[in-house]
Structure 1
Amino acid sequence: MPPSSPRYTCSHAGCPKSYRKPSRLKEHQRSHTGERPFACTTCHKSYLRESHLQAHVRSHLPDSTRPYVCTHDSDCQKRFWTSQHLRVHESTHSGTKIYACLEPGCDEAFSKHHQLRSHVCDVHAPPGTKPYQCDHPSCSKSFSTNQKLRSHLKMHDDRRYTCSHPSCLPPSGSSPAHYPTWTALQSHIRTNHPPTCTHPSCDGRTFASGQNLRAHMKLHEQRDLESLIDQVDSDVDGQTTRPRKRRRGGELGRDWICDIVGCGKDFKSKKALTTHHNVTHLGRRTHVCPHAHCASKFGYKHLLERHLARIHCSSALDETSSEDVSDDYESSEGPILSIESITGQTYEARARANPRLIQCPFPAVEHLMPTSANGAEIDGSSSSAECRHVVSRAYDLTRHLKAEHGLFADRSKVDEWMKAQKRS
């Protein structure tokens, strides 16, 4: 009568093993989860199976407790836990060599298997070959232990990895897509399922890694918490006050504080604190202008980029115009003025050449005002003529409206308007 087919199959993705007993399946599933519930009370080693623990516990017992004793020689008297181990040992006394070399023309035989493996490596294999050799075609690797060989053999399994993303799950009755290596699977995930921000304001923004996404999500959490704190403060005060100037990135999470006496600036990362210390207190200028005739150096990359955009790009647009080469942080030289820079023609030419810059919408800014200010008359410090100022960030536009036009715009509305302008 043929044996019954296995009924208990492993549910782990990519594992085809099955067992006739649920207890064996449970033991096998521990190899996927890493659970090792059976621990030795003496040395605290843990095992997947209870039988493995029992075999290990006997290693702590004295030799006198081993039931099988060698009787071949009165001088031997070695003891063993199993009769199989005793029989293997007795073969060393009788001279029986049951492990014969299978290579053609070789009549060597050995009493122990590891001796045969060493013989094959030394005599019938290239120099440097280890005892456990991979028998996969076109693979010549060898290993010192059987465990390392088993781990290596998984590399030759083309069905080793599969994607568990919901969009990649196959319909019922069909097999999923498999990947031979972990690198191939990760490449598939980065291409087809990149980490995506679920916050409504990000509109499905993707990131190169999960670590970058987690750092980005902390910004949303801090902004939501700051909004809640502001709402509570306004409810307690009972009156609306002018919004205080906010730093980029918010006020929460600034745990890295400069320890220089008299400074006290705080930052949101150790890297930002280190950069501040190198630039402000040590005076390092590592960002150098690449133009041969320009010896400008900057402590921050964005200052170098601004220098290249204002000085060298504008020179290419209009060779006859003069640029403002002064910088509040790096240079003490005064600006060289021309009629173009005085009348604003150089500024407008630079604004037209950069598609990332967006013009200030003043005086049509009613849609950027807070809800309580809607319908109110726009009466800024400047005239009602069209404003020619250009910005690249919502933060800059908010500060410009406050400084030049005396308007306190709603930050969230400015953010949404800037995003819409950049998409159009």
Structure 2
Amino acid sequence: MAVVNLSRTLDFAAPLGAKQKVLFWNHTGERPFTCSECGKGFTRLTHLTAHQLVHTDMRPFKCSDCEKSFKTKYNLLAHHRVHTGERWFACAECGKGFTQLSSLQAHRRIHTGEKPFMCTECGKRFTQLSHLLTHRRVHTGEKPFTCPECGTAFAQLCKMLDHQRVHTGERPFTCSVCGKGFTQSSTLLRHKHIHTGVRPFTCSECGKGFTQSAQLTSHQRVHSDTRPFKCSDCEKSFKGKMDLLIHQRVHTGERPFICCVCGKRFTQHSLRLKHQHSHTRETLFICSVCGKGFTRANTLQKHQRIDRESRDDARKIHKNDTRTESAFKLMERLNSHSRLHLSSQSQEFGDWAPEE
């Protein structure tokens, strides 16, 4: 294949056409169209114009099916495939299809194990640049997405959208077995393990199974001394995040769980449930020995402990009584034997008495 010398092919005396200029800049690396916001350069003015939308809130390309809008025509075309079901890009390893080439390229890294994007703060690596950018907010504390209803801020847009269903009451993900609805598909998937009995996450120390990886991670701290969750008020540390949240109510005085009968407030849901049994007098905990019912588990345990102690005391008394009875019989036999000696002596000496 012949190598073309571009400098000789182009006649610099004559004005270059648009395509010739782009061709020339592609070889020289020149990017004459520069973004005034971030300094990024482009070989075409149209590319610069499309790029500048990144720095604005303009989304001029609207979907005719769902009215969702996009900053570029390419993103709109890729989005259309959601409605049509087209998946042009298929993975050669597993056959999974994707609507965008970039999604396929990111997916391939699952098979190769490649994680080219590294966090400079902690060294953690990611398969996608977007995941790295989202992760960086952990270090910066940035939460750019704010709920318009309550003002709660989030680091990710998807988290804010999930949160907004709390206000709307929308539960689009429904369990086909029991009909229970959920705000997130991931929550529905975890819920399905209840019906199937599958516990895919197993502890390597004790073999206990869990339906969620987060539950396994929390459980594994039982086998170690790590307490990663520290209280900012008293520096007391805890093994679980929920334990820390419950503890912090000691400092804030918050009691979010209210008894619907008497209005008494509690720091924990479990404490409220225990309290409510005092109103219903429902005896959920039954003694297996005597059949007596109790409203609380700790009351039943106390009852069983007293019952065991009473039985142990009875056994000791019975044992002591047996020993006393044996000693009494031994004394009776000794006294009887002594009387035999006395009677034999009186027969031998008659009515003898010592002289005065």
* TM-score tier after normalising by the smaller chain length: 0.3 to 0.5
TM-score scaled to structure 2, two decimals?
0.33
Q: Quick check: which one's helix share is greater?
A: 2
TM-score scaled to structure 1, two decimals?
0.29
